[in-house]
Copies of this chain bind each other. A is one copy, B any other.
Amino acid sequence: MNSFSVTILGSSSALPTSQRFPTSQVVRLNEQLFLIDCGEGTQIQLRRFKFKMGRINHIFISHLHGDHIYGLPGLISSLVLYGKKGELHIHAHSDLQQMMEGMMKFMNDVTDLKVVYHPLNFKRNSVVFEDKRIRITSFPLKHRISCCGFLFQELPTDKHLDKDAIEKYDIPISQRMNIKNGADLILADGSVIPNIEITIPANPSRSYGFCTDTVALMKIVPTIAGVDLLYHEATFDADLADLAKKTFHTTSIQAAEIAAAAAAKKMLIGHFSSRYKDISFLVDEARTIFPETYAANDGDCYEL
């Protein structure tokens, strides 16, 4: 089974604290690293948590508020200094390129790294990356400026051939790929062994949903339905619902309602307001609705 994990690099909201950097996460699928958001200090956290940052080829930026992007110039500068070659793909609002070009004006010298910007669609769900193993879809959230969430879905693997069946029927190598793809086995005497008797089902496809910054938005539920892990912002506690509404953020209770409606298996809450020294009561609040709620902390790694 592929290793598929999410590591929290930053779990604070706009103001970092002594314990929490601004938003950034790494989604790891085997040796592929995908970065979501890039708050100030992301390169420092990547180093601290021992990621090989040169393996990041795709960065997904939810929106252009500073606490989600101010780590980009430093990260790119360091990738260049480390000698990264080829392309680095940044998926973000189309304004980002201009913002970055100003800031990167005096980036060190010649570079073999080409940064390719891909504009996100903030109107409807869109596949932003897909290869044999994973599909990444952006979906609209609702914040003070254009904002997207991201859904990471492992793609179904082939079925596994049953080792006993291989031996029993002496299945020729030439047929094995077809059987993995669903074909029945036809023996030399013309008899048919149904696919289900000679295969083991593929591993279940795992998925991760990332939602920040946004008001609580029930219309995302079909998109994130059944995810193994949901990260949802819970900037405020339930008593600050009015402030959450005004600033286009979500309360712990509202996040839990979304996780419950989506039948997520587990939820991480994060993007905590710096007013909270201890965020355990936000978790407690959410658990009254969705018991499988946990607090995101910098450095936490969740294997899906």
Number of contacting residues on A, CB 8 A? 38
Q: Oligomeric state, in number of copies? A: 2
Given A40-B41, A41-B44, A74-B66: A101 in contact with B103 (beta carbons within 8 A):
no
B105 contacts A99, C-beta separation under 8 Å: yes
A110 to B: closest C-beta gap in Å:
12
The verdict on A71 contacting B16 (CB below 8 Å), with A66-B107, A95-B105, A108-B65 known, is: no
A64 vs B28: C-alpha distance in the bound complex, in angstroms? 34
Give the distance in Å from the alpha carbon of A195 to the alpha carbon of B47 in the complex: 62
Residues of B within 8 A of A22 (CB): 74
A15 at interface (Cβ–Cβ under 8 A)?
yes
The answer on a CB contact under 8 Å between A47 and B105 is no
How near does chain B come to A90, taking the closest CB pair, in angstroms?
A: 15
Judge whether A47 and B99 touch: CB under 8 Å: no
A40 touches B71 (CB 8 A): yes
Measured CA separation A18–B22 after assembly (Å): 18
- Per-residue CB contact flags for chain A residues 85-110 toward chain B (1 = under 8 Å, else 0) read 00000000001001111111111100
B70–A74 contact, CB under 8 A? Answer: yes
Q: A261 at interface (Cβ–Cβ under 8 A)?
A: no
State A71–B44 Cα separation when bound (angstroms). 13
